[in-house]
Structures are given as C-alpha cells and as structure tokens.
Chains A and B, each alone.
Chain A
Amino acid sequence: MTNTLIKLDNIKKIFFTDEVETHALSNISLTINKGEYVSISGPSGCGKSTLLSLLGLLDTSTSGQYILSTHDVSSISKKQRAHIRNKEIGFIFQSFNLISDLDVEENVELPLTYRHDLTKVQRKEMVKNALEKVNMAHRAKHFPSQLSGGQQQRVAVARAIAGDPSIILADEPTGNLDSENAQAVMALLASLHAEGATICMVTHDPRSAERADRNIDILDGQIVSDKSTSKNSVEAA
C-alpha cells in the first residue's frame, strides 16, 4: 500500500491579465506522504499561495498532473473538486475566513452540512470533538466578532479538522496573530500532526517553518529547495 498522498508532476500555472502572461508556477513536481508536516516558504509573490490553492483544488493548473490519494484530480469537474475539498482537505486561512453570520458551532459544522452521509447527531458529535480539540467548546455559541484573533483561528482549525480530512492546508495561519496566539496555533498544529494528521503549511515565518519536518522553498514559481528538517534533504529537481 502506497504512502503517497499528493503527487504533483510538472505543474504549471499561468495567469493571463490584459494580454500579460504571469508564470506563477513553473514545472512544479512534488510528493507529499501521509503523516508529513510540510512547510512551504518563500518571499511574497513567489507562488507559494498559488501552489497551496492548487493543492487545495481551489484553482486549476494550466498544465501538469496532480494525483491526490491515487486519483488524478488534474482535470476533474468542479463538482468533483468540491466533493474532494469537502472530504479530503481541511483549510486554515491567514484571515480565518469564518462566516460572521454563523456562530462558532455553525461555522465548524458548515463543511459537514455539505456531506449527505452524516446525520445531524453525527455532525454535532464531530463538531463537539473538534471544538474540544482546539479548546473552544465553551465558546460554541459565540459569533466570530465576539472572539479574539487567536480564538477565531482556533475555531478555523476546528473547522478544518472536524471532517477528518486527509490533509490540512494552512495558508499563513499565524499571519494575523500576535506572537503568543501564533505560538498557541502552531502548538495546536503540532499536536494534530502528532496525532497523525498530514499538514501542508505556507508560511514566511522561519519559526513556524521550523516546526514542520520538511521545508520547501519556492522562488519565482519554482521549488529551489526541499529538505527535511530532521534528517533527509532533497535538492529541488
């Protein structure tokens, strides 16, 4: 049984604006195994967020192949992409992206409501577990505007893990937080990883990147380094 969760092969992403071609990603090839904690770093505009969007099926590549859990997802329909995002991927965003009209519990439950195989009782149980994991169960009925930034991000983490996804994709999860809250969120991700979660995190904070066990550096849309922080070091192709 293969341990590979994600496999990118020669992925390209070109943006076309006003007849100008912007090569955001060029020939990216990358493999992420189950249980890995990967950080993607690089300067602003290098393409790391674009890469995360492609990994999260929030966008499509211009060319190349993307295999997720043995399925080729490079050219699947929008509906299938939505289904995979819901089942396989958990997102954590820099700006939390909680929905202001929904309370904490409803925010966490939201992705579960898109599944047809869960009963309401099951959903409530999953939400409760997720909120307990991030220590936010006591704030279940609060609205996002009533929470601090750190608390909002913990709710976002709960939302990401509630559906037990194959991978958690985090885009600058500490970017909008003070150092204390940032540390708390990073500790939370570390504990999730310790429990077996696969995490791929975009960050330009070296201290956050250090927590991952594999660091990928991107520059001008290309991987310039891919190394394990513990032992293995793999030079970019």
Chain B
Amino acid sequence: MIIQDINYAFRLLSKKPAFTVLTTLVMAVGIGVSVYMFSFFNTILYKDLPFEDGASLVVINASVNGTHDNEKLSLHDFNEIKNNVNGLSEFSSYYNTDVIVSSKDGARRFPAIISEPNMFALTRVKPLLGRSYNQAESNAGAEKVVVIGYDIWQNQFAGNDNVIDKLMRLNGENYRVIGVMPEDYFFPNIAQLWLPNTENVAQISRKDANSVHGLAHIVDGNSIADIDGQLNLVMQRIKQQYPETNNGLSAYAVSIPGSGASDGQPVIYTMHIVAILILILASINVGNLLLSRAVERSKETAIRVALGAPRSRLISQMLWESIIICSLGGIIGLLVMAWGLEVTETIVATFFTDPPAFWWKFGLDSYTITLFFIIVFSTIIVTGLLPAWKNSGGDFNAVLRDGTRGALSKKSGRVNKMLVISEIFISMTVLIAAAVMVFASYTQSRADIGAETKNILNASVVLPNSKYPSEQEQVQFVKTLTSLIENSTGIGEVIIASALPGNFSYETSFAIDGFEYTEQSALSYPVMNYVAVMPGSLDKLGVELKQGRYFNSGDDGLDKKSVIVTESFAIKYFNETSAIGKRVRTVSSDNNIDWLTIVGVVETTLHGERETQNFPSVYRPFTQAPRNKLTIAMKMTASQALATKTLRKTMASIDAELPSFKIETYQQSVERITAPITFISNLTALFALAAVVLAASGIYGVMSNTINQRTHEIGIKRALGADEQLITKEFLLAGLKLLLWGGIPGLLAGGFMGFGMSQMFGTDHSVLIIIATLMTILVGSVVLLATYLPTQRALIVEPSQALHYQ
C-alpha cells in the first residue's frame, strides 16, 4: 500500500518536472539557510566546550554600566566573589597576554595565558607530557616555569619527548618547560603557552594588581541568572566600600563560547529569527504550490472518495509528495550548507591575526544533523498539512456536482489570504531587519577613520618589561627604529603610535579642567581613546590639523605635558570656545593630577569598533608617555615584500629577540575591524535576498492562483456589467487590504528588530524610518504587481469564456 502511494507520488512529481524542481529548490533554500544559521551560531556561541563538564564551565567578567563587554575584574573583586558566591565551584582566574618566544630561528610572538594553577583541572585535561604548575610555582620569586602547547612542542622542540625541564627564552628571560598540553588544547581561547600568575591577593594592593577573568563550574541546580544575582550583590557591597574604583561596576557569568556575543545579542536573535522566517516562507510557498495541485486534483480526489478511498489514504498520498520534496530539498540544502560552513571557516579565519577560538570547528556536527532532521520533519508536516487538509475534508459531492461552487472555494479563499498575509508579514520583517543591518555595516565599513591608509604597511611590536623597563629605553628604541627604517630602501615615512586611527586603542577616563565631576569614580568621567604617537605621525597619516599645531621636537621629553585632541572632543567639550590651551588629565586610581595642555585640534579619528560609542581621541607624544605596545606604519615606496624584509632585518639588528608581528597593510588592519559585521551583514543580505525572491514568487504564486481560481467570478461580474477598470480596482483594493493586514504587523516586528539593531549600531532613527518606508514600498509594489498582472491576464479572456472557466 505504502509502496503504491510512493510510486504514485513519484509519478505525479515526474509528470511535472518544472514544479518538482522549483519546489525542491525552494525547500533546499529554506532548509539550507536555516540549518546553516543555527549551526553557525551554535558553533560560535552555544556549543559546550569539548571537555568533561564543559557545559558547566563559565567565565566571570566585569560589566561596566550594565554592558557585557568581557571586561576583566580586579583580582581583589574576584577574590571577594570566590569567597561569597554559592552555586559556583572550582574557582580559577586568568588573563591574556602576548609572549615573545626566542629561539635560534628568531623570535615569535604567541598568545599566552597567565593563570592560577588549578585552571587546567577545571577543563579535566591533563598535560600530554609532564605536569601543570603548582601553587609553589605561583609564588613571587619562584622559578619561572611554562606549560607549552602541542604546536610549540612540535615546532620549537621538534616533538622531542625529552622537552620537560628544557629552558625556553620567553620575553627575554629563561623559563623551564614543565608540561606539554595535548593537541587542540588552547584553553580558554587561543592560548599556546600557560604561565603561573604570581600575584597574590594578600600581598598586592588593589591598584597594583592585574585584572583577571574568573573561571568556575556552576554547581548542578543553579542557573546563570541565580549566579548573576549573587554576583551583583557581592559587587554592590564592594562598590560601597570602594566607590572610587567600583562605581558602575558589576559582574556576570557566561559560558566561554557565549562570552563572544557580548552585547551583540540583538543581531544574533535577529539572525535566528530571519532564518526561521525564511524556513517558514519556503514552507508556505511549497505548501501553497502543493495546495494548488490539490485544488487542480479536487475532482480526481472526489472520484477516489466516491470509490471508497479512506481519508487516511488520501492524506498519505498528499504527504508522500511533501516527504519527497522536503527530503530531496533538504539533502540539497544540507550539501550546500556543508560547503557553506567549510567556506565560513576560511572566511572567519581572516577576521583575526591569531587563529580563531579553538571550538570554532564549522561542519556537520551532531547538533547540525539532529537539527536538520527536525527541520525536515517539520517542513514535511507544514507543507503537507494544507494540501492534506484540502484533500481529506470538504464537500466532495459538491465537487462532483459540476457547477455548484460553494463552501470549498470560500475556505480556499481564506487560506490563500492567510498565506499572502503571512508572506507579506515575513518579508517585511526580514527586509527591514536585514536592511538596517546592511546599512549599518555599509556605513561602518565606509566610515572615515580620519587617516590615509593607502600604501602603508603595519606591524606590531611589544617591548618586554624585562628588557625595556624604563620609559627612556622605550623612547630610545622607537627613535632608533624610526631612524633606521626611514633610511632603508623601499620605505618612505615611518609612523609610530600605540594605535593607528581605525584600530583599537587604549581607552581611559579623562578629567577636563573647568568641568565638575560629582561622583568619586573613574567611571563617572568621560572615556577617551588615549593614543601615544611619535611627533610628526599625525601629519604623515594625513590627519588634518584644524586648530593649533601638530607635535614637534619641542614636545619631546618625559617631563613635557602636551596633547592634541580630535575635533569631536573639541566640539563636545568646548563648542563655543577654542580648545587650544585648555587642560585635561587622565583619571587614575593613584590620584595622578598631571594636567596636560591641548596644543592642537585635529580632524575626528575613529578607533576600534564602529558600532559602539565613538569616543573622542586624545593624542600624546610618544616621547612624553611611551607604551610597550607599538604599531609601526611604513609608507612603502617599493613592494610589500621588500618593506617586510627591511623591517625584520632592522628589528633583528636592534634586538634579535624582539619580533614584529601582525604584519599587514594598514587597509587590511582597518578592514579586519569591520570584517565580522560585514560578513554577518552580507550573510543577512544574502538571506534577505532569498527572502525577497521567496516572498515575491510566493506572493505572486498565491495571488496568481487566487485570481486564477476567481476567473469564473470575474466572468460573472463582467457579465453583470463590471468593466475592466472596476475589476482591476476591486482586486487591487483586495491586495491592498492584504498588504495592510500583513504589512502593519510586519512593519511593527521588523521595526522592533530594526530598532534593537539601530540601538546597537548607533544607526539614526530617521534611517530606520526611511528603511521601513522603502521596504513598505517594495513589498507593496510586489503585492500590487502580483495582483495587477494576474488580474490583467484574467481580463484578457472574453467574459463568455471566463464564465465557462473551470
């Protein structure tokens, strides 16, 4: 019996190959897009870490003024949390750092972790060789030890089994290798070296301690919300005790993969909703096409019923068509999606100069396969439901009595209206949300960072404190480097700064002379990008001078105190008057009150992510306030390869143990900042395009089908004296009604999601209104066109023919 039904379904599908191909492809798009989206975000944000008890492992971060941006906690605050929060166990802490590893092959920078000794125990992973560090090795003055990653073991020690107890040069000092971690172990993110944290909360003051990320396991029966409640209470108590450092601070727990979302939840929710809506759209389209076929076959079905076919058999026949279409479409979608995930892994790798997080393995994992089967099953039910309902209920006698058009067509009309309304709702929602994201990404990627990026090669250098402990030594290094590189062939001007416009910079609170700050907390002061630049750098970068002067040799000297601010700063704080001669100072916990005089105002520059607050920038001569992290930007007069070679050679001539890294063009480094949002927005745009095509074809299909079914009614109306204009007007009005029924909720839903994203991206609300208007016009045009064209087609036939239309 089932075989017969399957054969029958195959026969029907093979009879209309175009229909079969179309419906299969529509399902392939719907299933492929939704499974891809869910799989993508699951891999990045929701997957349990691949360790025993990985699901209960959380990171504890600081939240600043309610924002979740993966900020570190003070070591002392974390200690309070450790002692006072229930529901968490096995506390540990860490912070990220860069370590320079020197060997006979040269020096290289590696991402490393400074952690408490029990951090490895939290992951239930033991070293492949040797051991992890112990408490004694975490005491100040203890022998310097390191646990190395598998790749370093292979590359630096050629996989030598006797690596334990060998010495390594890290940041210019000797460290004893005590353990090697297994392959693919990069916990908590991308670490390749692990060093003990020698800071002891009992022996170090609040202001001198490094900040840390906390780690712990959630004890069974506790939720993250419970933990967050307790964290908040503990942090509130600390705030009362230390208002000057802790005002505005709290803490939150989040899974390590989940921490990647930060405050980007609106985008993630939107993407998930878009994926679900596209799946629904595809299901509606296929369901509608199958419904049309069911309508075409009403008479055949009625004959079957008359011959005694049981209802279950009729439903089964209709469902087999859905099963075949959805399964075939699903398999195609799955194959394309698997390829898409592979490509995604390659693309995502370009977002970072370091490797991506170790759990970011895109592919057909068990979650994806399970989800695939759930989605295929759901689509079979959804797409098969309408035709099965149509074919298993209804007045078959009426169908057999030719000419009596009664309840069936009325019900079908309602279903068709619901389908169109759903498609309008979905397409409006998806389009508005996607358009806001695409617009935000477009404006961000094209934002004027305030500097010329062409033909410049960048490189980063970290000066280890062990070798460059004093500010004089740091300044001297930079001066020597600049002089040597500028006199090399293939390189023109050299710019050295702690961060270049367009890239992330150090942010800190500032006080402005003449302004009153009531709260005794660093967080109550305005935050600025605080950038150190070698004199001449801003001019060389093409950062235009608006007022005053650039830095010059007169600003050199650790005792000098001059700054240049951006125009955004000057407008914000000295709108009516000139900023030149005004004074600012950094706000730090050590009560530093060195006032810095503004000597120049330059055009507004952007640093870091474009979507959040664009803090004004304050530039300080590197020769006054050097940093140990430098960016070297070289204007290339020859090839990039020559500039790279020159840089490495020069660096080696100054300090053989000092590597330069992140060598790439300035343009690449700027694009890297917006690459993730550009990728997500391109993805959304692609999905929105799929939604538009699906919705437009779906709306046209349903409307065309509806109007086609009403050809006879059109014939009657024309026979009774309605002219073509009247009929067209009537149908357009009906289309407009559907547009309003689906469009208004769609506008609200899309507007809501768009608003969430515009808040996040800082998109102006007027843009949201323009986008909503444009999308309404677009969807409205589609609906009206989808009504107009089939109506005109129906009007081509003479009324006499229309009256006999079946």
In the complex the two chains form, is B800's CB within 8 Å of A59's CB? yes
Q: Does B117 contact A (CB under 8 A)?
A: no
In the complex the two chains form, is B413's CB within 8 Å of A101's CB? yes
Interface size on B, residues (CB 8 A): 28
Q: Does A83 contact B (CB under 8 A)?
A: yes
Query: Which among A97, A115, A176 is the interface contact of B716 at CB below 8 angstroms?
Result: A97
In the complex the two chains form, is B722's CB within 8 Å of A82's CB? yes
8 Å CB contacts to B: which residues of A46-98? 50, 53, 56, 58-60, 78-79, 82-83, 85-87, 91, 93-97
Query: Whose C-beta in chain B lies nearest to the C-beta of A160?
Result: B720
In the complex the two chains form, is A101's CB within 8 Å of B798's CB? no
In the complex the two chains form, is A78's CB within 8 Å of B721's CB? no
Query: Whose C-beta in chain A lies nearest to the C-beta of B413?
Result: A101
Interface size on A, residues (CB 8 A): 31
Query: Which among B405, B726, B798 is the interface contact of A58 at CB below 8 angstroms?
Result: B798
Instruction: Note all chain A residues with C-beta closer than 8 A to B721.
Output: 82-83, 85-87, 111, 114-115
Q: Does A123 contact B (CB under 8 A)?
A: no
Query: Whose C-beta in chain A lies nearest to the C-beta of B721?
Result: A86
* Complex Cα gap A176–B713 (Å): 19
Query: Whose C-beta in chain A lies nearest to the C-beta of B395?
Result: A145
* Complex Cα gap A48–B192 (Å): 93
Q: Does B407 contact A (CB under 8 A)?
A: yes
* Complex Cα gap A110–B719 (Å): 11
In the complex the two chains form, is A58's CB within 8 Å of B719's CB? yes
* Complex Cα gap A111–B406 (Å): 20
Most buried by B among A94, A97, A101, A144: A97
Q: Does A14 contact B (CB under 8 A)?
A: no
In the complex where A59-B800, A145-B407 touch, is A99 in contact with B713 (Cβ < 8 A)?
A: yes
In the complex where A110-B720, A114-B720 touch, is A59 in contact with B799 (Cβ < 8 A)?
A: yes
Summarize B's interface: helix, strand, loop or mixed: helix
Instruction: Note all chain B residues with C-beta closer than 8 A to A50.
Output: 800
Q: Does A100 contact B (CB under 8 A)?
A: yes
* Complex Cα gap A96–B404 (Å): 8
- Shortest distance between the CB of B726 and any CB in chain A (Å): 6
Instruction: Note all chain A residues with C-beta closer than 8 A to B725.
Output: 79
Query: Whose C-beta in chain B lies nearest to the C-beta of A87?
Result: B721
In the complex the two chains form, is A91's CB within 8 Å of B719's CB? yes
Interface 0/1 of B704-733, CB less than 8 Å to A:
000000001101111111111110000000
- Shortest distance between the CB of A199 and any CB in chain B (Å): 16
Query: Whose C-beta in chain B lies nearest to the C-beta of A102?
Result: B713
In the complex the two chains form, is A83's CB within 8 Å of B800's CB? no
Query: Which among A58, A78, A101, A110 is the interface contact of B724 at CB below 8 angstroms?
Result: A78
Q: Does B16 contact A (CB under 8 A)?
A: no
In the complex the two chains form, is A145's CB within 8 Å of B406's CB? yes
In the complex where A100-B407, A101-B410, A176-B403 touch, is A114 in contact with B726 (Cβ < 8 A)?
A: yes
Number of contacts between A and B (CB, 8 Å)?
A: 78
Query: Whose C-beta in chain B lies nearest to the C-beta of A90?
Result: B720
Instruction: Note all chain B residues with C-beta closer than 8 A to A110.
Output: 717, 720
Q: Does A12 contact B (CB under 8 A)?
A: no
Query: Whose C-beta in chain B lies nearest to the C-beta of A52?
Result: B800
In the complex the two chains form, is A79's CB within 8 Å of B723's CB? yes
8 Å CB contacts to B: which residues of A124-161? 144-145, 149, 159
Instruction: Note all chain B residues with C-beta closer than 8 A to A114.
Output: 720-723, 726
* Complex Cα gap A91–B803 (Å): 12
Q: Does B409 contact A (CB under 8 A)?
A: yes
In the complex the two chains form, is A82's CB within 8 Å of B803's CB? no
Most buried by B among A100, A110, A115: A100
Instruction: Note all chain A residues with C-beta closer than 8 A to B402.
Output: 95
- Shortest distance between the CB of B409 and any CB in chain A (Å): 6
Instruction: Note all chain B residues with C-beta closer than 8 A to A159.
Output: 720
In the complex the two chains form, is A95's CB within 8 Å of B403's CB? yes
* Complex Cα gap A97–B409 (Å): 13
Query: Which among A78, A97, A99 is the interface contact of B723 at CB below 8 angstroms?
Result: A78
In the complex the two chains form, is A144's CB within 8 Å of B800's CB? no
Query: Whose C-beta in chain B lies nearest to the C-beta of A147?
Result: B406
Instruction: Note all chain A residues with C-beta closer than 8 A to B726.
Output: 82, 114
Query: Whose C-beta in chain B lies nearest to the C-beta of A101?
Result: B410
Query: Whose C-beta in chain B lies nearest to the C-beta of A145?
Result: B406
Query: Which among B409, B723, B724, B803 is the interface contact of A100 at CB below 8 angstroms?
Result: B409
In the complex the two chains form, is A91's CB within 8 Å of B403's CB? no
Query: Whose C-beta in chain B lies nearest to the C-beta of A159?
Result: B720
In the complex the two chains form, is A85's CB within 8 Å of B800's CB? no
- Shortest distance between the CB of A61 and any CB in chain B (Å): 11
Instruction: Note all chain B residues with C-beta closer than 8 A to A86.
Output: 720-722
- Shortest distance between the CB of A35 and any CB in chain B (Å): 23
Query: Which among A78, A100, A111 is the interface contact of B405 at CB below 8 angstroms?
Result: A100
Instruction: Note all chain B residues with C-beta closer than 8 A to A85.
Output: 718-721
* Complex Cα gap A86–B715 (Å): 13
In the complex the two chains form, is A82's CB within 8 Å of B798's CB? no
What is A's interface to B at a CB cutoff of 8 Å? 50, 53, 56, 58-60, 78-79, 82-83, 85-87, 91, 93-97, 99-101, 110-111, 114-115, 144-145, 149, 159, 176
The 10 closest A-B pairs by CB, nearest first: A86-B721, A145-B406, A95-B403, A82-B723, A53-B800, A58-B800, A111-B720, A59-B800, A58-B799, A114-B721
* 7 CB-based A-B contacts, threshold 8 Å: A79-B724, A82-B726, A95-B402, A95-B404, A97-B716, A97-B719, A100-B405
What is B's interface to A at a CB cutoff of 8 Å? 402-407, 409-410, 413, 712-713, 715-726, 798-801, 803
Question: Given known contacts A58-B718, A58-B800, A59-B800, what 12 new A-B pairs fall within 8 Å (CB)?
Answer: A56-B800, A59-B801, A82-B721, A82-B723, A83-B723, A85-B718, A85-B721, A95-B402, A101-B413, A110-B717, A114-B726, A115-B721
